[in-house]
Amino acid sequence: RAIGHVRYLATMEIGSFDAADASLKFGAAAEEAALNTNVVVVGSLERLRDAKDCHKLQRVLEASPDKMQLITSVARAMSAKKDGASARELYLLPEPVETDERSGSVRRVCLIALPSACSRHNSPARPHALTSCLKGNAGPGSLTVVAMLDDPSLAFATGCAIVRAFPTWVAQSSTAAKMQSKKINVIFDAPDNEAIPEAEIAVLSWAARAIRFTARLVDVPCNILNTTEFVNQARVVHALLQSTLQARGEEANAVSLEVITGEDLAAQGFGGLYGVGKAAAHPPALAILKYYPPGTSAADQATIMVGKGIVYDTGGLSLKGKTGMPGMKKDMGGAGGLLGTFRAAVGAGVPKKPLYCLLCLAENAIGPLATRPDDVHTFYSGLTVEINNTDAEGRLVLSDGLAFAA
């Protein structure tokens, strides 16, 4: 099956989202955009049934009172689940004009009622249920999402949950074309028409784009996102943040990137990271991103993030089985998540003290240079370790990263 799909593959590249990603808009920018014919309205069942709020929704949907009555009736007929979200959809015909002909397009409206229960493990925004339900009910093409919030403070969690429902990379050409043309407008509707602060919308925009960027890294297979390409993506983030800092009046060199790769890792004592990745076609690397907010320096207490970036994990000589290996392209998700976090935090101007991001990148491959069980490696800390399972590589690369961070 995989061989049969090769001819349908799109251009094998990762691409990237810049800070002005036009496919995603929040708040006032979304309200100013043209309303899509595909609309999803999400909120608690109480909010969906609230007549007062339906008047606000009426303005957003540009619907007649009769159609709003229909939407309200559908909402009142819905029942909230305890654990998962529920959805109902309806189609609104365009309004007739003086010639008795209908103008415009049929509008799809999907109502998503969030679960009634909220456990101690979940946010009051119910983000997991929202993401899961939206994936299956987003409908075709571009869409407008109207988030009926119980409280303005839930805007950030809700916005992040919405963007997680839309993947940004796939290799199949027909699907990729649809994804690339999809535009998402997110409008927030808080009780009593309370506005979401623009500063919060700005932070959300950076976070949402970082989520999509990270999801893309995790989705891309290792024959594209090898360690060398991962370092290139770190350089893309570095360049983006330099231009962002300049635009807001900071020094561009307040953010920096250092990369230690291949034999230089061994020479500088990173035996754990080097030992895991030395058998691969692309060398292991340690990417070090640093950001110093205005008024801070390297002497100040810092926040340091260390991420595991195993771009593929075969298990090494302690080889995984045929059912255990598929999906191991995701073993770099820790480093991918932290690169996205660094991008969002620095881009939004959140850090008040120095922020470091260490990406420990390697492919746990098989080859003549592969680490063997019984080998002994020396970590950056000076400690030694005897290998008895080459499939326990994560602790080896992170040990070097943590020792360097300390």
State the catalytic residue, choosing from 182, 320, 330, 372: 320
| Residue scoring higher pLDDT (6 or 200) | 200
- For 273-306, how does the pLDDT look when each residue is reduced to its tens digit (9 = 90+)? 999 999 999 999 999 999 999 999 999 999 999 9
| Whole-number pLDDT of residue 186 | 93
The model's pLDDT over 11-57, given as tens digits with 9 standing for 90+, comes to: 445 554 444 455 788 887 777 777 778 999 999 998 998 866 677 77
CA 221 to chain centre: 17
325 burial class (0-12, 13-18, 19+ CB within 10 angstroms)?
middle
235 is catalytic: no
Question: Using an 8 Å Cβ cutoff, are 224 and 14 in contact?
Answer: yes
- Separation CA 25–CA 22 (nearest Å): 7
Beta-ladder partners of 102: 96
pTM over 0.85: yes
Which residue bears the tokens 């929040």?
26
Label residues 221-244 b or e (16+ Cβ within 10 Å = b).
ebeebbbebbbebbebbbebbbeb
Q: Cα separation of 267 and 111, whole Å?
A: 59
Convert the pLDDT of each residue in 249-267 to its tens digit. 999 999 999 999 999 999 9
Q: Which helix (H) or strand (E) holds 205?
A: helix 198-219
Whose CA is closest to 163, among 210, 216, 208?
208
Q: Cβ(214)–Cβ(336) under 8 Å?
A: yes
Parallel, antiparallel or unpaired: strands 285-291 and 255-261: antiparallel
Respond yes or no: is residue 395 known to be catalytic: yes
Sign of CA dihedral 67, 73, 75, 81: negative
Q: List the structure tokens of 261.
A: 């790769």
Active-site residue, from 76, 102, 353, 395: 395
Confidence band of 87 (pLDDT split at 50, 70, 90): very high
The per-residue pLDDT for range 235-245, each reduced to its tens digit, is 999 999 999 99
> What amino acid occupies position 21?
D
Interatomic CA distance for residues 140 and 175, integer angstroms: 12
- What's the burial of 363, exposed, middle or buried (CB within 10 Å: 0-12/13-18/19+)? buried
